[in-house]
Amino acid sequence: MFCLRVNIINNCKVALVLSVLVPVSLFAVFKMSGLVGGPLTIAETTTLDTITWNRERPYLYPNIPRPYTVNASYMTDDITLSFGFELNTCVGDPPSEWLAGPSLRPLNASVPKGFIVSVELTLKEAYPTSHASFEWDGNYENLTLRKVLSGSNSFAVFGTKSVKAYLKASAIGQPRGVYMAWQGVAYFLCSQYNQTHHIMIETAVTYFNGTVYKRLVQPVELVYGPDHNNSFEEAEEIGFGQRTAYIDNDVNGDPVDYYKIWLHERQTVQVSSLVEDSGVVFGPSMFICDPERNVEVCWGCRQNETLSQITLNINQTGWWYIKITGEKIGGGIYVLDVSPVQG
Ligand SMILES: [Ca+2]
């Protein structure tokens, strides 16, 4: 059993239990030309559970980029991997002054009993006309860039427009650890406002664990859809579980999200809303409303109130509503978690 920690919040790391161990035919031969000068036998490929993040796309000022950062870490006896990346999305062509701006995001990988072979990053999306610009300038330790592709270059090499960007860095020698900090990806949605994008970012590390060669793949899916959950009538239907979303109170932002969940009388549920601390305190509030839309709980409405967990006894069957609002200037990512309490 593996455990992945997604650093959504500084003080609260959400543990995701990973159960997907994919033995892609033991001892299958992967021809990885350019890595070691010949075929490399991968004894095992482990594909971790996909991390899915939802976000509403920008629309009022379509060409202002919206940075989107994801951080994740993973550890077993074989390998430790942590990485962050930043995706800057625009609806269309970016303003000329923008591309210089993304901040450096780190990737660390280490193998205590073996060595790293390579690191690869791949961005894919089925939507045909979106494209990416890979800003690969950065700091690389024990790594050398072997291939960087984005825009039409990736299409030319892979022959499919679903690959938007690709980076491969090969280890120099046989290092136990590698590090890189790179500038991130500019992503141009190039679509109408009602288009939802599913962007898949795969981080893959090939390594030797002291006995065999292995490959670790972490997929992250970023879902960009229209901001259409801004009223009771547009409330987004959810079930039990976690949902990660973005909210902000900026002038061109997304200051409110509505959700609805079908609950039964005499059910007891727990609701929590956690906030990513990315250096910005944005102070969201959460309202829980009954099927008549009366506020049962207002949480975070009082000054300096700390968000934590609410236990709610459901007194009527129907759609219960959860409203998240950004109360202060700024923005950030929150995790909404609704779960049943066993009676
Ligand atoms: Ca919204």
**What's the confidence (pLDDT) of residue 181?**
87
Distance in Å, CA 129 to ligand 1 centroid: 26
Domain boundaries, the chain: 2-225, 236-340
**What's the confidence (pLDDT) of residue 251?**
63
How far is residue 5's CA from residue 188's CA, in Å, rounded to a whole number? 29
Distance in Å, CA 325 to ligand 1 centroid: 9
How far is residue 265's CA from residue 268's CA, in Å, rounded to a whole number? 9
Tell me if the domain spanning 236-340 has CATH number 2.60.120.380. Answer: yes
- Ion ligand 1 — residues with CB < 5 Å: 227, 229-230, 254, 257
How far is residue 296's CA from residue 290's CA, in Å, rounded to a whole number? 6
Angle subtended at Cα 222 by Cα 231 and Cα 197, rounded to the nearest 5 degrees: 70
**What's the confidence (pLDDT) of residue 198?**
94
Q: Which position has the token pair 């664990």?
A: 209
Instruction: Supply the mean pLDDT for the chain.
Output: 77
What value does the mean pLDDT take over residues 182-190?
79
Predicted TM-score (pTM) above 0.85: no
How far is residue 60's CA from residue 254's CA, in Å, rounded to a whole number? 10
* Better-scored residue on pLDDT, 95 or 265: 265
Residue 236 β-bridge partners: 259
**What's the confidence (pLDDT) of residue 178?**
97
Residue 261 β-bridge partners: 320
What value does the mean pLDDT take over residues 140-149?
91
Distance in Å, CA 332 to ligand 1 centroid: 13
How far is residue 311's CA from residue 161's CA, in Å, rounded to a whole number? 47
Q: What are phi and psi of 157, to 5 degrees?
A: -80, -45
Q: What is the maximum alpha-carbon separation in the chain?
A: 67
pLDDT above 60 for 13: no
pLDDT above 60 for 33: no
Encoding tokens for residue 22? Answer: 């994919």
* Better-scored residue on pLDDT, 127 or 305: 127
